Chains A and B, each alone.
Chain A
């Protein structure tokens, strides 16, 4: 199975995302922001970083990169898309996911291990997890506070589209402790913490992040 990883100018975590895909048993395919060709991938990851220096708003300029036109089209046709951290911000700016990520409520850039609870395993990115399974993976962001209006929040909750929540104190002011959400169809997922940094206890706080990558492989290979 071919899983694409997009590199924008300022992307940082594309190598780790590719490594996680490889570790899960799939083939990682590099995609370039300036090239609309998705190279026959069956799923796409938008990794973390500071694309376009976070100028204007995080993700606001990346949204108009040539590759995003193809990603938006493919997502509409059901292709699984995962945005991690800055990738989550790009997906919100692209309107593939509702809401927006704003400045952390205490203004600090956070970089630490964070416990999260998986609250939906209905998406192709979370299906190998059990509901309410708690995992520890790194979080590192300055603008990770998930915000949306009350109506959108009620929809996300009622439709079971909150896929992960922070456990314990709210790290960034996100509404309802939201760490990740999906679109209505479930194929597009945004996640603020970094599963790709937690695929091996040797180099991360746990190996539990690998579940996102084995999930997509299990979803596609039947």
Chain B
């Protein structure tokens, strides 16, 4: 079963207080490597067999329409085996 994955991230200019809170927590735990943290969403969409070009383009549409909000977010669609 292959998966079509959609990663949604806040645009760089949009404040991400959740990511900032995670970055502070990392620092408190001694993980001092993190310059900054951004938190996003990942959608895994299972399809029967190999995803077709038409399925991928429909997922692109769904990502634009529902899964992301273009005012504040960007998305990337990819296939994962």
Assess whether A60 is in contact with B69, with CB atoms less than 8 Å apart. yes
Docked complex Cα distance between A102 and B14 (Å): 9
Query: Chain A's interface: helix, strand, loop or mixed, by majority?
Result: loop
**B67 on the interface (CB 8 Å rule)?**
yes
Docked complex Cα distance between A147 and B66 (Å): 19
Docked complex Cα distance between A61 and B18 (Å): 22
Assess whether B15 is in contact with A56, with CB atoms less than 8 Å apart. no
Total number of A-B contacts with CB less than 8 angstroms? 37
Specify which chain B residues have a CB less than 8 angstroms from the CB of A60 in the assembled complex.
66, 69
From 2 to 34 in chain B, residues with beta carbon under 8 angstroms from any chain A beta carbon are 10, 13-15, 17-18, 21
What class of interface size applies to chain B in its complex with A? 10 to 19
What class of interface size applies to chain A in its complex with B? 20 to 34
Interface residues of A (CB under 8 A from B): 56-57, 60-61, 64, 92-93, 98-100, 102-107, 145, 147-149, 173
Which 10 residue pairs across A and B have the least CB separation, nearest first? Answer: A100-B71, A100-B72, A107-B17, A103-B17, A105-B17, A100-B69, A57-B69, A147-B14, A107-B21, A147-B72
17 contacts between A and B (CB under 8 A): A56-B67, A57-B69, A60-B69, A61-B66, A64-B66, A92-B71, A99-B71, A102-B15, A102-B72, A103-B18, A104-B17, A105-B17, A106-B17, A147-B14, A147-B15, A147-B72, A149-B71
